[in-house]
């Protein structure tokens, strides 16, 4: 009798699923919920703006703390640079976890928890008695909190904006520039007034505002009828994932009725096999809901992730070593801090202007990104030539402008490669792959600085890394052209 019950329940479930197969597909149901590009989306943009500033803006302004911590613990450039590199790497590594937690719970709750972790970590770092304790607090725990706040907020921004997505990403990332511009001289003033420990305490209180940013994140709700269609369509996925012969067998068996279940004893093992496959399909659907592991089979995504790895080697070292490099050239501390503010101001202009250009769709976004990355690597290779304040001010301005042009579009390119439905998982995986580059970049630059006794070698390393990353963007353009060619040929054949 137990065989009969199992078979009957399986047939009833599949019969209900088959009834829903005529409903709208999941893709059509999701498509009915179009991003508003307005309304509460502007509050999401404001939240993302502040999150960028209180995460990556703080990382870029941390060069002021670098000098003081380096002198206080009397350590090497490599040893001090590990604080920033651990934070950057942790952001990237934890990004997939943050994406999965956001899908399981909510973007709002994950961001608020991340803000609390950031605040507590930096406050604890103010009482650190060794570099190891700074690695754990300001490095690891703070980076963990950054990932919990940055990843869900950027994902939510991508859900709220479609037509204006390039401009929205540019405006949001402008928070990094503006807060870097403000925080660099502010940190120097706080260090002079309260020492680096007191400045870290104040920074911890400032980062508590990340919890407020999380409160602004409101889920993008679908109309009631669309939500019902999505649920019924997702129920139908189980049957769609089964082999055709098994699904046909189930339909035939259900039409015969339960009175003929035992007519053929060989059907019982088949029903058990079908039941197992159904369970595997359900498990696969649940996993894909949180982590889309199928992205590793996307060639364009993997090529773009390799670009992210080599770009991360050179992205974070210049901001960390610009102030120490200027100080090594005899420039006073407040003038050295002004260099970061100049870079941040032009960075802001670059993000807004080139984000607007990308929004016009005059040039392919990936092609625009390739040009700016090559130019950024070239600028960094020229940096060691500058020695006076005026020369370094020009370098800071050009570097900030090109850096802003690069950052303005690189997230948009990722969304275009994978599509908005897979953007959350793609962003998490992209950050994870990029993590090793963010971890190794500053220490490698610090290694060359210690060996050559010249901060300029750190900029040379960063420039070479960015030019290598541009090669993967060129490969991505080739893949895009080949994909467009095959699509056009397929269209012509039909």
Alpha carbons 236 and 229: distance in angstroms, whole number? 11
What tens digit of pLDDT does each residue of 294-339 get?
777 788 888 998 998 999 888 877 877 888 888 888 888 888 888 8
Higher-pLDDT residue of 112, 248: 112
* pLDDT score of 117 more than 90: yes
What distances in angstroms separate CA 450 from CA 135, 326, 447, one per listed residue?
Answer: 20, 16, 5
Alpha carbons 97 and 90: distance in angstroms, whole number? 11
Q: Which tokens go with 128? A: 């650190």
What tens digit of pLDDT does each residue of 161-177 get?
877 777 787 788 888 88
User: 3-state SS string over 53-76?
Assistant: HHHHHHHHHCHHHHHHHHHHCCCC
What tens digit of pLDDT does each residue of 212-226 get?
988 888 876 654 443
pLDDT in the model for residue 22: 40
Q: Which tokens go with 297? A: 């089979």
pLDDT in the model for residue 284: 56
pLDDT in the model for residue 79: 84
Alpha carbons 315 and 312: distance in angstroms, whole number? 5
For residues 404 and 348, the answer to whether their CB atoms sit within 8 Å is yes
Alpha carbons 231 and 236: distance in angstroms, whole number? 9
Q: Which tokens go with 329? A: 């050239």
* pLDDT score of 408 more than 50: yes
How many Cα atoms occupy the beta-carbon half-sphere of 191 within 13 Å? Answer: 20
Higher-pLDDT residue of 270, 367: 367
* pLDDT score of 411 more than 60: yes
For residues 182 and 147, the answer to whether their CB atoms sit within 8 Å is no
User: 3-state SS string over 354-401?
Assistant: HHHHHHHCCCCHHHHHHHHHHHHHHHHHHHHHCCCHHHHHHHHHHHHH
For residues 148 and 98, the answer to whether their CB atoms sit within 8 Å is yes
What tens digit of pLDDT does each residue of 133-145 get?
999 999 999 999 9
* pLDDT score of 199 more than 90: yes
Residue 34: band (very low, low, confident or very high) from pLDDT cuts 50, 70, 90? low
Alpha carbons 226 and 70: distance in angstroms, whole number? 57
| DSSP 8-state symbol, 127 | T
pTM above 0.95, yes or no: no
pLDDT in the model for residue 25: 39
Phi, psi angles (nearest 5°) of residue 87: -65, -45
Averaged pLDDT for residues 93-104: 84
Residue 285: band (very low, low, confident or very high) from pLDDT cuts 50, 70, 90? low
Mean pLDDT taken over the chain: 77
What tens digit of pLDDT does each residue of 1-26 get?
444 444 444 445 444 444 444 433 33
For residues 354 and 400, the answer to whether their CB atoms sit within 8 Å is no
What tens digit of pLDDT does each residue of 454-470 get?
888 889 999 999 999 99
Higher-pLDDT residue of 283, 389: 389
Can you list the domains of the chain with their CATH numbers? 41-222+292-493 (1.20.1250.20)
* pLDDT score of 152 more than 70: yes
* pLDDT score of 231 more than 60: no
Whole-number percent of the chain with pLDDT over 90: 23
């Amino acid at each position: 009798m137990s065989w009969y019950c199992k078979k009957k329940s399986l047939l009833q479930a599949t019969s209900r699923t088959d009834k829903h197969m005529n409903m709208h597909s999941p893709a059509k149901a999701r498509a009915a919920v179009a991003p508003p590009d307005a309304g509460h989306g502007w509050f999401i943009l404001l939240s993302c703006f502040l999150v960028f500033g209180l995460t990556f803006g703080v990382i870029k302004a941390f060069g002021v703390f670098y000098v003081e911590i380096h002198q206080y613990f009397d350590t090497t450039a490599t040893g001090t640079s590990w604080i920033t590199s651990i934070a950057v790497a942790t952001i990237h590594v934890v990004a997939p976890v943050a994406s999965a937690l956001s899908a399981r719970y909510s973007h709002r709750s994950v961001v608020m928890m991340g803000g609390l972790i950031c605040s507590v970590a930096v406050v604890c770092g103010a009482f650190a008695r060794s570099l190891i304790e700074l690695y754990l607090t300001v490095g690891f725990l703070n980076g963990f909190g950054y990932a919990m706040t940055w990843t869900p907020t950027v994902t939510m921004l991508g859900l709220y904006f479609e037509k204006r997505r390039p401009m929205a990403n540019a405006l949001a990332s402008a928070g990094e520039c503006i807060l870097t511009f403000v925080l660099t001289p502010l940190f120097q003033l706080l260090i002079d007034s309260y020492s680096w420990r007191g400045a870290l305490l104040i920074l911890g209180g400032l980062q508590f505002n990340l919890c407020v940013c999380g409160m602004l994140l409101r889920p993008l709700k679908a109309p009631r009828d669309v939500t019902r269609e999505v649920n019924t369509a997702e129920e139908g996925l189980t049957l769609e994932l089964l082999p055709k012969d098994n699904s046909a067998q189930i339909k035939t068996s259900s039409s015969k009725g339960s009175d003929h279940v035992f007519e053929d004893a060989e059907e019982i093992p088949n029903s058990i096999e079908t039941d197992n496959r159904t369970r595997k399909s359900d498990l696969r659907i649940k996993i894909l809901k949180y982590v889309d592991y199928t992205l590793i089979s996307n060639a364009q995504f993997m090529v773009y992730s390799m670009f992210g790895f080599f770009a991360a080697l050179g992205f974070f070292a210049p901001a960390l070593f610009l102030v120490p490099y200027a100080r090594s050239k005899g420039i006073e501390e407040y003038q050295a801090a002004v260099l970061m503010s100049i870079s941040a101001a032009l960075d802001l202009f670059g993000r807004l202007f080139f984000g607007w250009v990308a929004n016009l769709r005059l040039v392919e976004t990936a092609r625009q990104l390739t040009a700016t990355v090559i130019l950024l690597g070239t600028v960094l290779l020229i940096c060691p030539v500058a020695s006076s304040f005026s020369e370094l001010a020009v370098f800071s301005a050009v570097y900030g402008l090109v850096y802003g042009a690069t950052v303005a579009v690189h997230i948009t390119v990722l969304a275009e490669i994978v599509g908005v439905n897979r953007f959350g998982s793609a962003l998490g995986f992209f950050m994870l792959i990029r993590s090793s580059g963010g971890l190794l970049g500053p220490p490698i630059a610090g290694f060359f600085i210690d060996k050559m006794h010249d901060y300029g070698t750190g900029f040379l390393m960063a420039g070479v890394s960015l030019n290598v990353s541009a090669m993967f963007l060129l490969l991505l353009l080739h893949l895009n052209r080949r994909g467009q060619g095959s699509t056009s040929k397929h269209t012509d054949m039909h």
